[in-house]
């Protein structure tokens, strides 16, 4: 039992370094709920090129508006107006 607890702690500590923040603060007041998106979308490759995720090369306005807004309007779920994303 004790061993399991220690193993879980070790795992949590390790996972902490491998994963992104729950909410990523972006430019112009955008708060991106990374964790909520991971959980609801499941598929990391909706945004990342690999299932491991990580920094997205060339991430910025064009990519964000295409990917973020694109999915929200296609799926009719999630914000599509400026003020909903840019607080
Ligand atoms: C809806 C889009 C989206 C989904 C789905 C998503 N991510 Fe991300 N993720 C991002 C964005 C945007 C960033 C910030 C990228 C940047 O700053 O270059 C990020 C950053 C990360 C980072 C941190 C990079 C760093 O060093 O700060 C990791 C690790 C990561 N994601 C892993 C994952 C994994 C694993 C999954 C699937 C379980 C996943 N992501 C699903 C959009 C997404
Ligand atoms: C592949 C689809 C998809 C992509 C890509 C995506 N989203 Fe979303 N997003 C959603 C869905 C679906 C919801 C609605 C979740 C709900 O209402 O349960 C949502 C909700 C949101 C919300 C409002 C709710 C919350 O969690 O704060 C914000 C803000 C948001 N997304 C920002 C972003 C940003 C910024 C990006 C790009 C970095 C992004 N999204 C990329 C599907 C996506
Ligand atoms: C789905 C969320 C979302 C919507 C809707 C949205 N944006 Fe953005 N916007 C972002 C994200 C994410 C970034 C990239 C932030 C970063 O690079 O850190 C961004 C970047 C920008 C930038 C560049 C900021 C910089 O300093 O590089 C401008 C300007 C901008 N948006 C204006 C707008 C305007 C105007 C609208 C409405 C027509 C709009 N956005 C709608 C999420 C959104």
Model confidence at 20: pLDDT above 90: no
For residue 66, how many other CB atoms are within 10 A of its CB?
Answer: 10
**What is the arithmetic mean of pLDDT over 27-49?**
95
Model confidence at 16: pLDDT above 50: no
Residue 10: pLDDT band with limits 50, 70, 90: very low
Of all protein residues, the one whose alpha carbon is nearest to atom 31 of ligand 2 is: 78
**Closest listed ligand to the CA of 60:** 3
pLDDT on residue 56: 94
What is the pLDDT of the chain when averaged over all its residues?
A: 85
Model confidence at 3: pLDDT above 70: no
How far CA 63 is from CA of 1, 47, 58, 69, in Å, comes to 47, 10, 7, 10
What is d(CA 59, CA 52) in angstroms, rounded to the nearest whole number? 17
């Amino acid at each position: 039992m004790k061993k399991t607890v220690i193993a879980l702690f070790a795992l949590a500590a390790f996972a902490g370094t491998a994963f992104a923040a729950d909410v990523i603060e972006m430019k112009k007041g955008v708060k991106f709920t990374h964790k909520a998106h991971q959980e609801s979308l499941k598929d990391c490759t909706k945004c990342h090129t690999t299932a491991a995720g990580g920094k997205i090369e060339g991430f910025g306005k064009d990519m964000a508006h295409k990917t973020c807004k694109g999915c929200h309007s296609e799926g009719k779920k999630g914000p599509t107006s400026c003020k909903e994303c840019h607080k």
